[in-house]
């Protein structure tokens, strides 16, 4: 799947915690993260930040795929994650759906489940759409007094 994306997923934070994008479609994304000790909190549960990171990455990637050909990029604007039940082993499975596709923002809902299909966390992510840095006009130098 990652070979089909127009940007690399094999570096940075997504690589660090183990995100694998398994499906990318029009307004729908899926991904998995294997549970291991490095992503758990001291109590043995998957750290809440991992759920939020998965949701934001899938939402941002999904938005970016839709706007990249227009010279745009996508960046996370807000992320609200509710934790319903812990995951301690197996795989975190995520399914993201675009619920609003605006000109400057998209809103996604992401469900995160365990290997038994139980809902463990839900996230709403708002993604901002911006001009790609390379597509922007150069900034004027700062004025000094």
State the Cα–Cα distance between residues 9 and 2, nearest whole angstrom.
Answer: 7
- Tell me the pLDDT of the chain (145 aa) as tens digits: 555 566 777 778 999 999 999 999 899 999 999 999 999 999 999 999 999 999 999 999 999 999 999 999 999 999 999 999 999 999 999 999 999 999 999 999 999 999 999 999 999 999 999 998 764 455 555 566 5
With respect to residue 140, please indicate whether it lies within any of the assigned structural domains.
Answer: no
Residues annotated as catalytic are 56
Tell me how many domains the chain contains.
Answer: 1
With respect to residue 38, please indicate whether it lies within any of the assigned structural domains.
Answer: yes
With respect to residue 142, please indicate whether it lies within any of the assigned structural domains.
Answer: no
With respect to residue 127, please indicate whether it lies within any of the assigned structural domains.
Answer: yes
**Cβ neighbours for 95, distance < 8 A, ≥ 6 positions apart:** 28, 29, 30, 110, 111, 113
Question: What CATH number does the domain containing 16 carry?
Answer: 3.10.129.10
Q: What is the pTM of this model?
A: 0.87
With respect to residue 32, please indicate whether it lies within any of the assigned structural domains.
Answer: yes
């Amino acid at each position: 799947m990652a070979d089909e994306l127009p940007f690399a997923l094999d570096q940075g934070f997504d690589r660090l915690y183990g995100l694998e994008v398994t499906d990318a479609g029009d307004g729908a994304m899926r991904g998995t993260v294997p549970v291991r000790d490095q992503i758990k909190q001291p109590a043995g549960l998957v750290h809440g930040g991992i759920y939020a990171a998965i949701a934001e990455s899938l939402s941002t990637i999904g938005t970016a795929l839709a706007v990249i050909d227009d010279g745009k990029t996508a960046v996370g604007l807000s992320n609200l994650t509710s934790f319903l039940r812990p995951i301690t082993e197996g795989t975190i499975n995520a399914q993201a759906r675009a619920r609003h596709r605006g000109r400057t923002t998209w809103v996604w809902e992401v469900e995160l489940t365990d290997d038994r299909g139980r809902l463990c966390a839900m996230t709403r992510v708002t993604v901002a759409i911006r001009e790609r840095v390379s597509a922007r006009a150069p900034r004027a130098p700062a004025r000094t007094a």
